[in-house]
Structure 1
């Protein structure tokens, strides 16, 4: 994974010192709340319902065991002993004291971490596929390109005060696991017939109050021009994006208002001033970025070991269930990627205690070359596990409560912190997730349902990505009471789609029953081996609506 050079470390250290001075002036009353607001947001600090919240950047979801141990220590010293992994592959602390934040940032800097641009109207943390570099369907490792985008976008002076926040996702695989169609900018890396690397660039996607799917701005961009073209895209947004209404300030509104053809024309016009300029990428620059993502020193795994693993999977039903759901194929024979489930009823989805962080860091050292990945689904991944060590890892994960064999099922719920923490939320979301997990805890039933994304958001900001859940749940406020709106048919992967609202919203206690009715329609109507999203697209929303509201 990428390691800071002297320039990176100096930048982050100076940023910590700068914010310490800003915090001291604020606490002394020399900065008003309004003056301090943009300063704290630029360093990932929010004021939430009960306490400050600090969002820590995990660039493209990569985390070392050393960094995870540091996060564990920070949560013990400055928080309540746990952290929350988000859908943006970051970590949030929900209970730090305001005056402790500079010390937290200083400790993060010691392990090459920071909270820069995790909030505010700027380019946020660039995300990618959690299986980058190891997926069998990958044509190009997106991590070096994410790193190049990170370096370009971090503290970019022109983009420090965009009309609104701005999010970029990159995929290099045939199957999109980075949700590029619902980002402000999405990038798909591909190879032409001659083997040359190209990029497809999409713009105008996003969720929130006005969800939209991105449109293709450039189908065939040579890799050398990636940064200059992205800069042109953001410049057009920065110049013409709405600033009079924050609800209409995202790039998706601009693209829709202009139309994709006009937006593309303006980007091309702006790009003419940037193309072949100083930010044009060279082979040397790309190779330098690639050098930070070397292949780990994997040992050979014998055919006999692979056969033993397959036999164990055949003989042990519980192990077989874990492998089927939580273990992913690897491009290197004899290796697998293992997903650690962070979905337990006693914790909010994505929450991890300090003790668990330290234990997982130890597992990463033993089973994963000291490296972890954070997923969009709020889980963790060990990306390089030899098959003859998976059984031992499985037993360790069982002790930690992270071996839940439900990854990719209904119970692998994506969920924002909701009204329990967030000042913007209209309703709680964590209790809804826990109630659904309790209602649908029969593994045989979950496996029979097949792959199914259920996402929950506590408000229209859609931090739980409810718009792209096969089943989406949105908390709404009706005259001071919490209700929940159900949507169906969302999908964040290839052929992405936005869910459609089922109908009038429901009381909190009714939600698990409504989900049950939706699932019954699916089970009755599906064809053999048909997933939920496919059944929904074939029969439409009407049968679900009729059964739920009968």
Structure 2
């Protein structure tokens, strides 16, 4: 994985010092809240429903055991609300719970002292006081981490397929290009105040596991017939209020031109993107409204960068080799730890089937640890678990791990001979559930339990569904199903791309939920990226688990032998599923129906 140079380390340390100075001036009254707002946002600090939320970047998902231990220390020592704040938060939760008609779902307890893995390979903390933010940034800088541009109207954390460089279907390892793009975009003076946030994703394999169609810029690695490496460029994807799949603007962009072309795209967006309406400010709206005109403007800007400016950001072979030298196979040796696992046991065999993937190096395997556990929100890891993950990475994966788009953690360098010992260790931590890709491996944002933007809570729904679908025989019978859930239209839980999507909405101050069907993030199983369609009027929180059960019962009744949920849904259409969902609606009071 990439190791920071002296310049890189100095860069993040100076940024942390600058943020400390900004906070000091704010506390002295020399900066107003309004003046501090863009400064803290560009360092990853939000003010949420109860307390600040810190968002820490993990570029393209790669994280070391040392960094995991630092996150554990932050969770243990800094992610701690005052008793008064915790009491206020609990009282607010109790009020929300009491306000829901007929609600039978219990909200999970308000926890602290943990990190949350997001769909964009960031790590979030929900309870760090703003007065301790500078201390946290110093700790992060000490292990080459930061929150720079994890929020604000700038180029956000660069993401990749979690299997980059290790996948059996790999074409090109795009991590060096993602790292070069990260360095180029960090505090870019021209692009620090864009019309809206901007997200870039790379995919270097035949299968699109990075969901590039849903990004402002999606970059698919390709090889020409002569072996030349380049990128197919998609622009204008995004979720939110207006879900749109990115349009292909270049079928083949030679790799040295990557930054020049990205600059042309972002500069065009910066010049013409709307700033009068935040709901219409994303590049997807500009691309949709201008069509070919947008592509022509990008090409004209690109020609000007190359011909008039001298292509200043052309990536040289020497620079690519410098960065790529960090992304090599680490020094590997088997852990050779004893294990008492019965390798013929059905639980172990299921874990091998669901959580273990082949590797481009035949003696190795890729192992995903499941963070979809009863009693925990999807993607949550407390301090002790983060410490334990660091230990697993050291023992079994050369000190490296990766965060995934699905809010799990992956170990990329595991010897096949070490799988029994790893399974045993992961099982003791509650992280060996063989549910990767199955219904209970759901994606969910924190929702209204923490986020001030959310219209409804996600965590009670996620908890209810996790508890209901614990029977592994049932999960394996149902087969692969992507269940994604968001607490509001900002779509942090990627509900649009779920085979089943759940969206929290507000109706007269009450929490309700829309159900969407047949979305896809672009994987081989799901097919090309597409947004799901709403099946009908919204449902109350208490109804959602029964609605999901009705959808699954319909699938069981209509599927053909060996058919997956998404395939059956596309074959028979939405109508039987929509009818089943509406039939599962509980009788409502007249005023609820009118709402």
Given the two structures, how large is their TM-score scaled by the length of structure 2?
Answer: 0.89
Give SS of 2:190's match.
helix
Find out whether 1:441 has 2:470 as its counterpart: yes
Query: What corresponds to 1:326 in structure 2?
Result: 355
Q: Is the 8 A contact 1:428 1:475 kept in 2?
A: yes
Of 104, 117, 122, the residue aligned with 2:136 is 104
Query: What corresponds to 2:453 in structure 1?
Result: 424
Q: Is the 8 A contact 2:119 2:492 kept in 1?
A: yes
Of 287, 294, 297, the residue aligned with 2:328 is 294
Aligned 1:168-317 pairs, distance under 5 A: 168-259=200-291, 261-275=292-306, 277-299=311-333, 313=343, 315-317=344-346
Query: What corresponds to 1:129 in structure 2?
Result: 161
Of 397, 420, 434, the residue aligned with 2:426 is 397
Query: What corresponds to 1:466 in structure 2?
Result: 495
With 143-152 and 532-541 compared, the bigger mean Cα shift is at 532-541
Query: For the residues of structure 1 that align with 2:161 and 2:405, how far apart are their CA atoms?
Result: 8
| CA offset digits 1:244-265 (Å, max 9, x no partner) | 0001000000000101x21110
With 269-278 and 65-74 compared, the bigger mean Cα shift is at 269-278
Query: For the residues of structure 2 that align with 1:472 and 1:363, how far apart are their CA atoms?
Result: 33
Query: For the residues of structure 2 that align with 1:47 and 1:460, how far apart are their CA atoms?
Result: 19
Question: Following TM superposition, by how much is the alpha carbon of 1:529 offset from its aligned partner in structure 2, in angstroms?
Answer: 2.0
Find out whether 1:357 has 2:357 as its counterpart: no
Query: For the residues of structure 2 that align with 1:267 and 1:35, how far apart are their CA atoms?
Result: 33
Find out whether 1:503 has 2:536 as its counterpart: yes
Query: For the residues of structure 2 that align with 1:39 and 1:157, how far apart are their CA atoms?
Result: 14
Query: For the residues of structure 2 that align with 1:349 and 1:333, how far apart are their CA atoms?
Result: 32
Query: What corresponds to 2:88 in structure 1?
Result: none
Question: Following TM superposition, by how much is the alpha carbon of 1:527 offset from its aligned partner in structure 2, in angstroms?
Answer: 2.1
Query: What corresponds to 2:566 in structure 1?
Result: 533
Query: For the residues of structure 1 that align with 2:580 and 2:75, how far apart are their CA atoms?
Result: 46
Find out whether 1:46 has 2:46 as its counterpart: yes
Query: What corresponds to 1:516 in structure 2?
Result: 549
Find out whether 1:61 has 2:61 as its counterpart: yes
| CA offset digits 1:147-197 (Å, max 9, x no partner) | 011011111100000000000000010000000000000000011111110
Question: Following TM superposition, by how much is the alpha carbon of 1:300 offset from its aligned partner in structure 2, in angstroms?
Answer: 8.6
Question: Following TM superposition, by how much is the alpha carbon of 1:528 offset from its aligned partner in structure 2, in angstroms?
Answer: 2.3
Give SS of 2:485's match.
strand
Query: For the residues of structure 1 that align with 2:332 and 2:52, how far apart are their CA atoms?
Result: 42
Of 479, 497, 500, the residue aligned with 1:450 is 479
Question: Following TM superposition, by how much is the alpha carbon of 1:68 offset from its aligned partner in structure 2, in angstroms?
Answer: 0.4
Find out whether 1:27 has 2:18 as its counterpart: no
Unaligned runs of 5+ in 2: 80-111, 584-595
Q: Is the 8 A contact 1:420 1:430 kept in 2?
A: yes
Query: For the residues of structure 2 that align with 1:298 and 1:45, how far apart are their CA atoms?
Result: 38
Query: For the residues of structure 1 that align with 2:333 and 2:391, how far apart are their CA atoms?
Result: 20
Query: For the residues of structure 2 that align with 1:176 and 1:549, how far apart are their CA atoms?
Result: 34
Query: For the residues of structure 1 that align with 2:380 and 2:505, how far apart are their CA atoms?
Result: 24
Query: What corresponds to 1:373 in structure 2?
Result: 402
Unaligned runs of 5+ in 1: none
Question: Following TM superposition, by how much is the alpha carbon of 1:380 offset from its aligned partner in structure 2, in angstroms?
Answer: 0.2
Shift in alpha-carbon separation, 1:212–1:195, aligned structure 2, 3 A? same
With 213-222 and 275-284 compared, the bigger mean Cα shift is at 275-284
Query: For the residues of structure 1 that align with 2:572 and 2:396, how far apart are their CA atoms?
Result: 45
Query: What corresponds to 2:183 in structure 1?
Result: 151
Find out whether 1:491 has 2:520 as its counterpart: yes
Given the two structures, how large is their TM-score scaled by the length of structure 1?
Answer: 0.97
Give SS of 1:274's match.
helix
Query: What corresponds to 2:7 in structure 1?
Result: 7
Give SS of 2:305's match.
coil
Query: For the residues of structure 2 that align with 1:298 and 1:176, how far apart are their CA atoms?
Result: 28
Question: Following TM superposition, by how much is the alpha carbon of 1:548 offset from its aligned partner in structure 2, in angstroms?
Answer: 1.9
Question: Following TM superposition, by how much is the alpha carbon of 1:299 offset from its aligned partner in structure 2, in angstroms?
Answer: 4.8
Q: Is the 8 A contact 1:300 1:334 kept in 2?
A: no
Query: What corresponds to 1:115 in structure 2?
Result: 147
Question: Following TM superposition, by how much is the alpha carbon of 1:546 offset from its aligned partner in structure 2, in angstroms?
Answer: 1.6
| CA offset digits 1:53-108 (Å, max 9, x no partner) | 00001010000000100110111111132111100101001000111000100010
Q: Is the 8 A contact 2:222 2:252 kept in 1?
A: no
Query: What corresponds to 1:18 in structure 2?
Result: 18
Q: Is the 8 A contact 1:51 1:95 kept in 2?
A: yes
Find out whether 1:160 has 2:192 as its counterpart: yes
Query: For the residues of structure 1 that align with 2:232 and 2:314, how far apart are their CA atoms?
Result: 17
How big is the alpha-carbon RMSD for the aligned residues of Structure 1 and Structure 2?
Answer: 1.5
Query: For the residues of structure 1 that align with 2:468 and 2:71, how far apart are their CA atoms?
Result: 33
Query: For the residues of structure 1 that align with 2:8 and 2:333, how far apart are their CA atoms?
Result: 33
Q: Is the 8 A contact 2:199 2:216 kept in 1?
A: yes
Query: For the residues of structure 2 that align with 1:2 and 1:386, how far apart are their CA atoms?
Result: 22
Of 352, 362, 371, the residue aligned with 1:342 is 371
